[in-house]
């Protein structure tokens, strides 16, 4: 009789963990997740030596952890575990942080860096890019309102494993964390004249229709990014990038 799980139980264990776990697709996602304290429960590579050589070259700080985590699997087994083959042929599963932990991180005071709110975003790639930006700027978290799941596998892929570097959660407008809400809208006041405080809640509208009525009603300030006449708007993720850069370049403190 053929063994239904020739990888000594890994196949079954992976499938069980994958039901609730976060798929880290590729070496860089795994590297980031490890750096930011993710609880990685399984990790595979088609070529373990090549993955560790990549760690030697690009991420010696996590080499030891990857050495302990990575199990080599044949190409066919990797294909059975992971829906698409990442060029590095490395994949892992991590535990999704508890909502309560994210809510605590978002509500912690005094806040030393803004929270980014994506109000009813539609595009999974944009959400991933924003989480990556938030991680890079050390933002407190990224909150989405509406139906998009900010932990959707495509968002996690776009975030390059950096969901673990910031608090990522879906909330309603009523549940937004405390702090002055600065909502970004082309009709607002020029952002260049405004100091963004560290406890700011920076809100951005959806790709299709901009800020919702509920978010507008909650906003304390409406701010515009500089834009030449006849251009209607910027892409959502690039708007977040400019705004976080403006915050980071300004003097720091609360309002």
Ligand X SMILES: C[S@@+](CC[C@H](N)C(=O)[O-])C[C@H]1O[C@@H](n2cnc3c(N)ncnc32)[C@H](O)[C@@H]1O
Residues that bind ligand X (CB under 6 A): 184-186, 204-205, 207, 209-211, 224-225, 227, 233-236, 239
Phi and psi angles of residue 32, each rounded to the nearest 5 degrees, phi first:
-65, -45
Closest CB to ligand X belongs to which residue?
A: 205
Which residue number, 24 or 115, has a Cβ lying nearer to ligand X? 115
Q: What six digits make up the tokens of 103?
A: 């809510």
Tokens 């088609």 belong to residue:
46
To the nearest whole angstrom, how small is the minimum distance from the Cβ of residue 135 to ligand X? 19
Given a contact cutoff of 8 angstroms between Cβ atoms, the answer to whether 38 and 94 are in contact is: yes
- Classify residue 18 by burial, with Cβ atoms within 10 Å: 0-12, 13-18, 19+: middle
CA angle 132, 85, 163 (to 5 degrees): 20
Which residue number, 46 or 116, has a Cβ lying nearer to ligand X? 116
Which residue number, 82 or 127, has a Cβ lying nearer to ligand X? 127
Which residue number, 2 or 232, has a Cβ lying nearer to ligand X? 232
To the nearest whole angstrom, how small is the minimum distance from the Cβ of residue 107 to ligand X? 23
Question: Looking at the DSSP assignment, which residues form a beta bridge with residue 223?
Answer: 189
To the nearest whole angstrom, how small is the minimum distance from the Cβ of residue 93 to ligand X? 33
Cα dihedral 51/53/7/87 (nearest 10):
30
Given a contact cutoff of 8 angstroms between Cβ atoms, the answer to whether 11 and 80 are in contact is: yes
To the nearest whole angstrom, how small is the minimum distance from the Cβ of residue 126 to ligand X? 9
Which residue number, 150 or 161, has a Cβ lying nearer to ligand X? 150
C-alpha to C-alpha distance for 181 and 171, rounded to whole angstroms: 15
To the nearest whole angstrom, how small is the minimum distance from the Cβ of residue 113 to ligand X? 19
CA-based max dimension of the chain:
74
To the nearest whole angstrom, how small is the minimum distance from the Cβ of residue 172 to ligand X? 18
* Secondary structure of 169-195 as H, E, C letters: EECCHHHCCCCCEEEEEEEEEEHHHCC
Which residue number, 11 or 242, has a Cβ lying nearer to ligand X? 242
């Amino acid at each position: 009789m053929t063994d239904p799980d020739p990888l000594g139980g890994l196949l079954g264990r992976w499938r069980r963990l994958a039901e609730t776990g976060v798929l880290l697709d590729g070496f860089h996602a795994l590297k980031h997740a490890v750096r930011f304290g993710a609880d990685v429960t399984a990790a595979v590579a088609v070529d373990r030596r090549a993955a560790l050589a990549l760690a030697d070259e690009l991420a010696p700080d996590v080499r030891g952890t990857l050495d302990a985590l990575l199990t080599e699997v044949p190409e066919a087994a990797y294909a059975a575990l992971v829906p698409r083959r990442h060029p590095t042929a490395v994949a892992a599963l991590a535990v999704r942080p508890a909502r309560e932990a994210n809510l605590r991180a978002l509500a912690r005071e005094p806040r030393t860096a803004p929270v980014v709110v994506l109000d009813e975003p539609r595009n999974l790639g944009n959400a991933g890019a924003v989480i990556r930006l938030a991680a890079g700027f050390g933002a407190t978290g990224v909150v989405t309102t509406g139906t998009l799941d900010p932990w959707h596998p495509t968002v996690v892929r776009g975030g390059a494993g950096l969901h673990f570097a910031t608090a990522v959660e879906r909330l309603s407008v009523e549940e937004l964390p405390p702090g002055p809400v600065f909502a970004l809208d082309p009709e607002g006041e020029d952002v260049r004249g405004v100091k963004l405080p560290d406890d700011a809640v920076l809100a951005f509208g959806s790709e299709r229709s901009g800020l919702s009525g509920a978010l507008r009603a909650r906003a304390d300030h409406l701010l515009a990014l500089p834009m030449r006449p006849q251009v209607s708007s910027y892409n959502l993720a690039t708007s977040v990038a400019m705004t976080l850069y403006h915050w980071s370049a300004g003097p720091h403190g609360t309002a």
